[in-house]
């Protein structure tokens, strides 16, 4: 049995793995804000309104950047 060399040089699975982790971080982090919010209230020592801006900005920056990114 003869093995054929991959056309991508064997890097295909590395790309799949890196893509998975990128998706995990980009979409998983904003969804975890609700869990982290209670801890942030204690750590920052600020009110609920100011602390909520952390999660809002994380989502807002992604939404505001999407039209610019779609031009590329």
Establish if 4 belongs to a structural domain.
no
Tally of structural domains, the chain: 1
Q: Distance between CA atoms of 64 and 72, rounded to whole angstroms?
A: 15
Establish if 66 belongs to a structural domain.
yes
Q: pLDDT of 24-51, one tens digit each?
A: 888 888 788 889 999 999 999 999 999 9
Q: Distance between CA atoms of 67 and 65, rounded to whole angstroms?
A: 6
Establish if 57 belongs to a structural domain.
yes
Name 12's Cβ contacts closer than 8 Å, sequence gap at least 6. Answer: 6
Q: pLDDT of 3-28, one tens digit each?
A: 777 787 778 889 999 999 998 888 88
Establish if 25 belongs to a structural domain.
no
Establish if 51 belongs to a structural domain.
yes
Name 25's Cβ contacts closer than 8 Å, sequence gap at least 6. Answer: none
Establish if 8 belongs to a structural domain.
no
Q: Are 51 and 41 in contact (CB under 8 A)?
A: yes
What is the domain extent for residue 64?
Answer: 47-71
Q: Distance between CA atoms of 29 and 34, rounded to whole angstroms?
A: 10
Establish if 20 belongs to a structural domain.
no
Establish if 40 belongs to a structural domain.
no
């Amino acid at each position: 049995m003869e093995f054929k060399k991959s056309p991508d040089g064997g890097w295909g699975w590395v790309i799949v793995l890196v893509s998975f982790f990128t998706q995990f971080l980009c979409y998983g982090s904003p969804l975890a804000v609700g869990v982290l919010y209670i801890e942030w209230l204690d750590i920052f020592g600020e009110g609920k309104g100011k602390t909520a801006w952390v999660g809002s900005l994380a989502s807002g920056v992604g939404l505001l950047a999407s039209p610019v990114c779609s031009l590329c």
